[in-house]
Amino acid sequence: MTVLTPEVRRHSDYSLVGEQSKLAVERGLADAQWYASPIPKEQMRELLARRDGPAVRDTLIWFGLLLAFGAAGLLLWGSAWAILPFALYGVIYAATSDSRWHEAGHGTAFKTDWLNNALYEVASFMVLRESVPWRWSHARHHSDTIIVGRDAEISSRARSTCAASSWRSSASRVSSSISRGSCSTRLAR
């Protein structure tokens, strides 16, 4: 197995038509055969049966908790007690929005398509993703997950990681310049 160092990773071609994509196909990494559970097909169908009831219930509880904690934070605004409901709001918002987006995008949250699509659009907004490009990109991602040159989502993750690292580095420079009293320091690239 080839281990990619940060320098090699930085220069990898993640496009679907580039050299890395051709190498992934030649090495047999593309269109891999994934593990199949030994559960009999009939039992697997039962386990994977979609129903609207549990998903509607869970979604109503989710939005109800968001509304309740948001309202509690608003009512307690101006006091230190507002921290608790806003912290719980943030945890519920952040911890569950992406998983709702993922399952609704695959059409597995509800049995009814329009409910999956409605929740997918709302969750896409909540996690700041454009719904149409991400649906197709994510479907492509599941075809060849984490294969350099085949998984387009890796490229966007690498860019966002670099951007986050750059942001943290810039924020650190600003913070240290403020603590030294030189607020006019320009951020170097």
Domain ranges of the chain: 33-143
* Rounded-to-integer distance, Cα 29 and Cα 20, Å: 11
Is 180 buried (19+), middle (13-18) or exposed (0-12) by CB count in 10 A? Answer: exposed
pLDDT value of position 179: 41
Tens digit of each residue's pLDDT (9 = 90 or more) over 131-186: 887 777 777 777 766 666 666 666 555 444 444 444 444 444 444 444 444 433 33
Q: Are 123 and 100 in contact (CB under 8 A)?
A: yes
Residue stretches of the chain with pLDDT short of 70 = 1-16, 31-32, 144-189
pLDDT value of position 132: 82
pLDDT value of position 112: 94
Please list, residue by residue across 72-96, b when 16 or more beta carbons sit within 10 angstroms of its beta carbon and e when fewer do: bbeeeeeeeeeeebbebbeebbeeb
* Rounded-to-integer distance, Cα 10 and Cα 8, Å: 5
